[in-house]
Chain A
Amino acid sequence: MTNLPALETIIEITYLVATALFILALKWLSSPTTARRGVFAGELGMLLAIAGTLLHHGIVEYKWIVIALVLGTIIGVPLGEVAMTAVPQRTALSHAFGALCVTLVGTAEFYLRTPEVPRFMMGVLSLEVILGSLTFTGSLMAAGKLQEVLPQRPITYKGQNIVNLGLLGVAVVVAGILVLHPEKTQLFPLIVGIPLLFGVMMIVPIGGADMPTVISLLNSYAGLSAAAMGFVLGSKLLIIAGALDGASGLILSINMSKAMNRSFTNVLFGAFGQEQTTAAGKQEARPVRSATPEEAAAILAAANKVVIVPGYGMAVAQAQHKVRELYDALTKRGVDVKFGIHPVAGRMPGHMNVLLAEADIPYDKLLDMEDVNGDFPQTDVALVIGANDVTNPAARTDASSPIFGMPVLDVDKARTVMVIKRSMGAGFAGIENPLYYLDKTLMLFGDAKSFVGSIVRELGGGHE
């Protein structure tokens, strides 16, 4: 690398600066006060890297590049402007696009280089293509389930894991043969096709509540496949960007699996959706105490400290703006209102935070599970909106519960608990929630949005 022509050196320097900017972008994302600067750094780095690449002397034709860049922008803008409630499916879709890019480039590289592909190169290329294609279909499936164009309920059958692992095993064996004999081009379609099928099969047994884990995992796969592409192309920039993305996805996956009390290997091998049905047995009807919006409003107005616990039900009911009005009405009366957010509340990591921030609730009122759990004993009212399993005290106390050991929000330690819920139906996991039968618990039956709206009216708040 001593006698690089000047242009090559300039290109390499743009890549170097872009790498630094990417790392800074993630560093600045650590706090909401600097986060937007992080986005700017990322954009600048990206612009530099693309500009540098376009200078590359090896490029002889620009027509298709320009057409593709324009087309990509035309598709990208609406994808950047989706509603906040659609962010989980948009994220899944972008994992699919990223993986598609990696798979296509990998495929082209194989056919351009065969039969002289060194063994290591062929190994990495196989990894790139296998991870890329399974992430592509897996993410499309996840996006489809989140957008509700595909059935959301998990579909399971006997021997599912064996079939899935078997498929993946075949792909790995074929890749092994290709590493030894890269001239066997007729085998190559198999290491694209089988993982494409595997991606579909992997997501078939996934239900909605597992989505945060699955999206994180697909994020990680997308990153690793891009890093593998960096190895194939000899691009440090791509290796680094892929490693950063892979690390990020991995950290989030580990967080999510901890928050659901699943072992990480259980998650890694796609063994989702299992072991659920155990406790689904019908319980006898036990008495619960219910309350009207007027009663709920009176109790809230008399409280000093309120913690609101939102869950996916709040997102489904689009209740976040009404919740904001409730927050305003209570704050105006001098009530201290905070939000307690479980890591797996919603359909992707951080989902609740984004929805509440969109409704203009200040982010310093949004607390993580660890930060808020110590507050519950001093809390007058814990108001649960559309969350179930993440508030289940059986996870702490009942060793026979399927979610025993899962970290939960200790809402039962508050003086009064109010739960807004459509009916007494069990949560995603089909697990009875003893919280609802406590003496201190009041059930508020109804749609989250209209119920919160009624409470706000009682409190004399509301913006209209």
Chain B
Amino acid sequence: MKLDLLTSLYVFMLAAFIGFEVIRRVSPLLHTPLMSLTNALDAIAVVGAIILTGEFHAHGAMLAKILGTIAIVAATSNIVGGFLITDRMLKMFKASGPKKP
């Protein structure tokens, strides 16, 4: 699947606008979890690294495999660590007041 340049730019532009609008609404209270969550989501780059590592390459196969493998390790640790710590942080945010069981 290939995207032409213009489509890619449209996608980027729309995503950037959505990002601004959605993230502007995040309360400063949660800015640390916001950063760790977007970091985990950003590690979706693992998808590119997986294809690079697993695909057949007529030349440069060794290079692709080595760099790809390290890239998967780096991204996966961000995914696992990022989601774990975000959830741990969010669990700590409790409201006061009597509504708790």
Contacts and interface: CB of A to CB of B under 8 A. Distances in A.
Interface of A: 1, 4, 8, 12, 18, 22-23, 25-27, 29-33, 35-36, 38-39, 42-43, 45-46, 49-50, 53-54, 56, 58-62, 64-65, 67-69, 71-73, 75-82, 84, 87, 90-91, 94-95, 97-98, 100-102, 104-105, 107-109, 111-112, 120, 215-216, 219, 222-223, 226-227, 229-231, 233-252, 255, 341, 343, 348-351, 353-354, 357-358, 360, 362-366, 368
Nearest to A136: B74
B54 A120 contact: no
Given A26-B19, A46-B44, A102-B45, A90 B81 contact: yes
Nearest to B84: A80
B39 A79 contact: no
A417 B8 CA distance: 55
30 contacts: A30-B26, A30-B27, A32-B29, A32-B30, A36-B90, A39-B87, A46-B41, A59-B51, A64-B65, A72-B76, A77-B81, A78-B81, A80-B80, A80-B83, A97-B75, A97-B77, A98-B43, A100-B70, A101-B72, A105-B49, A108-B60, A108-B64, A112-B60, A112-B63, A235-B48, A248-B23, A357-B89, A362-B95, A363-B94, A366-B29
A357 B30 CA distance: 10
B1 A234 contact: yes
A248 B22 CA distance: 9
Nearest to B16: A243
Contacts of A243: 12, 15-16, 19
Given A23-B18, A91-B36, A233 B85 contact: no
B54 A94 contact: no
8 closest A-B pairs by beta carbon, nearest first, are A72-B76, A80-B84, A76-B80, A247-B19, A350-B31, A362-B96, A59-B54, A79-B81
A380 to B, nearest CB: 20
A348 B29 contact: no
Interface residues of B, number: 84
B74 A72 contact: yes
A112 B28 contact: no
A90 B78 CA distance: 10
A72 B79 contact: yes
Contacts of B50: 50, 53-54, 56, 59, 65
Given A32-B95, A58-B51, A349-B31, 18 more contacts: A30-B26, A62-B54, A64-B72, A65-B54, A68-B70, A80-B82, A97-B43, A100-B70, A101-B43, A101-B74, A102-B71, A230-B48, A239-B11, A239-B12, A247-B19, A248-B38, A350-B29, A363-B94
